[in-house]
Structure 1
Amino acid sequence: MSAPQPQFPVIHGYAVKANGEAFVPWQYTPRKLGPNDIEIKIDHCGICGSDIHTVDSGWGPTHYPIIVGHEIVGRVVTKGDSVKHLQLGDLVGVGAQAFACQKSDCRNCQNSMDAYCPHFVGTYNAKYADGQVSQGGYAEAVRVDSNYAFLIPKEIDPQEAAPLMCAGTTVFTPMLHHKMKKGDRVGVVGIGGLGHLAVQYAHALGAEVTAFTTSENKRQDAIKLGAHKVVNIRNEDDVKQARLSLDYLLVTTNSKHTDWTLLTTFMDTSGHIILLAVPEAPVNFNAFALIHQGISMSGSLIGGIEQVRETLAFAAKHNIRPWIEKLPMKDVNEGIERVRSNKVRFRVVLSN
């Protein structure tokens, strides 16, 4: 049997070639299609805050030129000989991960923690074992390991599915890990691309949801999304009433102005703070604030195969959808600028 012939021997997209530059048309030759790989013709790709941190080298060195984008939805156009669970023409989504080893001796892969696999390859700005840099979804196509392409439920519009691949999975994964349930008191800091989905997922679980924001004009949005209470962190009365009120707090903002010690005051005894966004600067807080109430703090990266599937299924069942603004892929620079200036309600989706 002859090897499948990819439809995109060269992939065209929009790349940043150096820190501080705009996105420009660029093309690259993708890595060879392996037996477990698929090639996807991209229809839609969301703009994630991680994309901006990456093109700005905010989290460390970037492999320029770089095509970012890891909220991808499109159709399977080529597949390797070993791919059995996907068919040509299937509508699939890809999130922030393009590969993990899936080996029997990999503790993380075998325990549904493949997002922490030591051989993890991100959808962009990462290196495969052969040294080639992964490139993302601001493009006409992408190749990934077929394990990291997920069938999109028919109930979900493809454009709305895109942000669920990263933002949705990122917020729902810790809810699954901590087994959040009806009656739990869950706070969400930051009502943006991640936070507006976190409010919806927590509400659908039956939690009592409190949204924390510094923007009074997001109060009504938070209520529409399912928040039972809204706390303006700049309002002293709101802050006073929110003290000792939470079991869990999801931090979805990476603002350098976040008062981490203040956040601990919202936690009841043995409460848990979960970091989902990554500030570029170190996080500072008063350690005694944790000890005094027995508060714990942890981080959560993205989600593995099992968590992405559950994220999509739960969204389909409970009608959880991102609020999106749509732009053609060629207007990527406009989309990026809207995200940078915090003018988006709440996610930009680019379409080919």
Structure 2
Amino acid sequence: MASMQNIPKTMKAILLHEYGGSYRFHDAIPVPSHLDDYDVLIAIKSAGFCHTEMLVRDGIIKAKQLPLIPSHEPTGIIVAMGTKVSHEFELGDRVGALGCNHACDQCPDCLNDQPLYCDEYCATGITINGAFAEYQKADSRWLVSLPDEISFEQAAPLMCAGATAFNAIEKCALKKGEILAIIGLGALGHLAVQFAKCMGFKVIAIDNRQEPLELVQRLRYSPDLTIDSSKTDAENAIKQINTLHSSTKYNYPGADATLVLTEPISAFKYALAITKKHGTMMAVGVPREPIPIEFYDLIFRDITVKGSLLASIESARRMVKFVAQHGIKSEIKIYSLEEVPNKIEADQDTNKRLVESEGEIHHHQHRNVQYGRPYFVVLLAAFSSLGGWFFGYDQGVTGGVVVMSSFKKDFCIGLYGNASVCDLPVGTLPSDYRRFLVLYTLLYNVGCFIGAAFISSSVAEKFGRRAIIFTASFLFLIGTSMVIFPPGGSKKIMILILIGRIVEGTGVGCSSFACPLYASEIAPTHLRGMLSGFMQMTIVTGLFLANVVNFLLRNHKWGWRLSNGIILIVPITIMIGIFFCPETPRWLFKKKSRELAEKSLKRIRKTTNVTVELDAIADAIQEEGNQISIKELLTTKKMLQRLGIAIGMHVLNQGTGINP
């Protein structure tokens, strides 16, 4: 056995102490010190959390003893080896391991080369300690070498979810072009969709939840057809499936095979109903009740019903090479070991694969993103930041125009006919005019609030980032036009102008949200701070220009109208130019498809090498689903500190008076 003298005596780990209880974090658990002949010690880099862990925690599957370290999806580096470990493995190798350990080697299954079905083998994270720790002992006969193309985080779910889905599809024994219906689009299902597509099958993805149905449509290898089983009964599902068949009289209605990767009994009934005559239903999900199978399906429809358990080591190794070859990705969330006890409770009902990784939350696989040439993205960010010009300009121009003689002539002298009255101190001005001056500024700020709080986010999410930039410019154009074009000298006109100020402010509020959002979503990470800050630069430029223009036009007979109106060239320019700008890849990926996001990203980066960055975007979008509740935000000490810092910075920033 390789020396373990450089390996620490204790390690961090998560333990389950009692059935029905919560997982607990420990920082001084003994590192496994005894290795049998075929064992290796793995320094864990990432480990997956599977539905089976929940069954063990709830006591439905019993461990040999408690406390128990959970997780049967380990990946990491070999740091010690037993004396009989195969020469194909060496110290320092990147590996994953299936959850099987030390079959008996004596039962019929072991003697017939099917140790996976041995009744005596030990199951990692189920009957013996698993991978939610810094080190784990594993049986080298169930090791899978990891190619460099697959990160530890991406590899972890493959050790159970991936292996199980891949093996089940292989056991369906379909030919290329045949139809596979996959029911249940959780951790196994979204991988099964990608496997089946890359194997050349026509794939139907079925679930009764909207979120996983939308998720699989965003995958690089998306299904040919998605069906919401909560809205589509089996009869109508078959009609949709039949559209994928080639037009020949020899085809039977329905899917050639159905793969059930979930546990509700209704899923198995649905699968049997949509499976064609002489087809196959493959059962992988583990229901808590007996599966109802009618004799009619077995005898008169000749349906073959099979089950599939994990995978042989040969199948698992084929699967890992297949994943690397096709660039298949798992949808995952990543947490540090210390966070696992709290996060598992929050995420146990989701359909996403949870992955625990040592250290901070991170994505190793995205460190080598290539961003291409930056000139176009800088140009796009500069263009989008033009919205800051009319933001800053309008902030700066208002104080100057209300004291111009041309403004007083239209709204004070025109109404009261006495210039001396209009030159009095503010407190002694005619009440109607004084109220108009107050509302002229106040209602603009009301509009800003409406735009930023109620319009911008909804338009940006539903219609896209370009849409909200166009909307902001359009509202500012309309609002400013309502202010500068009507003649003065009438209280009705003053009311119209005040309405225009609300519309104008709404446009400014929308631009304050839209422009930095667009810049940040198109910017490469190393330029994001600078490009997102372009708008602040245009805001202060607008403030400066407003004061210069006010000074130059202070005595012009149309001074206040020209001062307000000159800036209209900016929203007009934006409204035209935004149609020539690409939509952000992030929004396209989230709302449309991966293909459209990829096309946009290639245009922005001026390179075709965008796959890694696109995967990073996909993971970031996935992580957004892991948002905390308002209650957690207001009651968790760590989150309260962050909230206090964020609010405090804005309060102090505004308190300086820099932003008038």
Structure 2-normalised TM-score? 0.49
Shift of 1:250: 1.0
Checking the alignment, whether the CA contact within 8 Å between 1:93 and 1:165 is kept in structure 2 is yes
Are 1:246 and 2:255 an aligned pair?
Answer: yes
Alignment of 1:167-178 (within 5 A): 167-178=161-172
Residue 147 of structure 1 aligns to a residue whose secondary structure is: helix
Mark the CA change 1:3 to 1:159 in structure 2 (over 3 Å): closer, same or farther: closer
Aligned counterpart, 1:44: 46
Shift of 1:174: 2.1
Shift of 1:99: 3.0
Residue 182 of structure 2 aligns to a residue whose secondary structure is: strand
Are 1:161 and 2:163 an aligned pair?
Answer: no
Q: What is the CA deviation profile of residues 246-302 of structure 1, one whole-angstrom value per residue up to 9, with x for unaligned ones?
A: 1111111123x5243332110101111111121233333434333331112111111
Structure 2, unaligned runs of 5 or more? 240-252, 359-660
Partners of 1:168 and 1:350 lie apart in 2 by 17
Aligned counterpart, 1:332: 340
Shift of 1:180: 2.9
Mark the CA change 1:87 to 1:3 in structure 2 (over 3 Å): closer, same or farther: closer
Checking the alignment, whether the CA contact within 8 Å between 2:162 and 2:192 is kept in structure 1 is yes
Mark the CA change 1:117 to 1:147 in structure 2 (over 3 Å): closer, same or farther: same
Residue 168 of structure 1 aligns to a residue whose secondary structure is: helix
1:53 pairs, out of 35, 52, 55, with: 55
Shift of 1:320: 1.3
Shift of 1:189: 0.6
Checking the alignment, whether the CA contact within 8 Å between 2:183 and 2:261 is kept in structure 1 is yes
Alignment of 1:26-175 (within 5 A): 26=26, 27-28=29-30, 30=32, 32-60=34-62, 63-83=65-85, 84-101=87-104, 103=105, 108-109=109-110, 113-126=114-127, 134-175=128-169
Structure 1, unaligned runs of 5 or more? 127-133
Partners of 2:120 and 2:138 lie apart in 1 by 14
Checking the alignment, whether the CA contact within 8 Å between 1:96 and 1:302 is kept in structure 2 is no
Partners of 1:135 and 1:76 lie apart in 2 by 17
Partners of 2:93 and 2:224 lie apart in 1 by 38
Are 1:272 and 2:280 an aligned pair?
Answer: yes
The higher-RCO structure (CA 8 Å, 6+ apart) is 1
Q: What is the CA deviation profile of residues 32-58 of structure 1, one whole-angstrom value per residue up to 9, with x for unaligned ones?
A: 211221101111011111111111112
Partners of 1:155 and 1:208 lie apart in 2 by 27
Number of paired residues? 339
Whose strand fraction is larger, Structure 1's or Structure 2's?
A: 1
Residue 279 of structure 1 aligns to a residue whose secondary structure is: coil
Shift of 1:8: 5.1
Partners of 1:241 and 1:284 lie apart in 2 by 20
Are 1:24 and 2:24 an aligned pair?
Answer: yes
Residue 194 of structure 1 aligns to a residue whose secondary structure is: helix
Are 1:227 and 2:194 an aligned pair?
Answer: no
Q: Which shows bigger deviation, 40-49 or 82-91? A: 82-91
Shift of 1:207: 0.3
Aligned counterpart, 1:210: 204
Shift of 1:303: 0.9
Partners of 1:288 and 1:28 lie apart in 2 by 57
Mark the CA change 1:5 to 1:237 in structure 2 (over 3 Å): closer, same or farther: closer
Identity %: 28
Mark the CA change 1:33 to 1:60 in structure 2 (over 3 Å): closer, same or farther: closer
Mark the CA change 1:201 to 1:31 in structure 2 (over 3 Å): closer, same or farther: same
Shift of 1:237: 6.1
Whose helix fraction is larger, Structure 1's or Structure 2's?
A: 2
Partners of 1:336 and 1:350 lie apart in 2 by 10
Q: AA paired with 1:13?
A: A
Shift of 1:146: 1.1
2:311 pairs, out of 303, 308, 311, with: 303
Q: What is the CA deviation profile of residues 310-349 of structure 1, one whole-angstrom value per residue up to 9, with x for unaligned ones?
A: 110111111111111111111112332243222x5x2111
Mark the CA change 1:291 to 1:339 in structure 2 (over 3 Å): closer, same or farther: farther
Mark the CA change 1:268 to 1:74 in structure 2 (over 3 Å): closer, same or farther: same
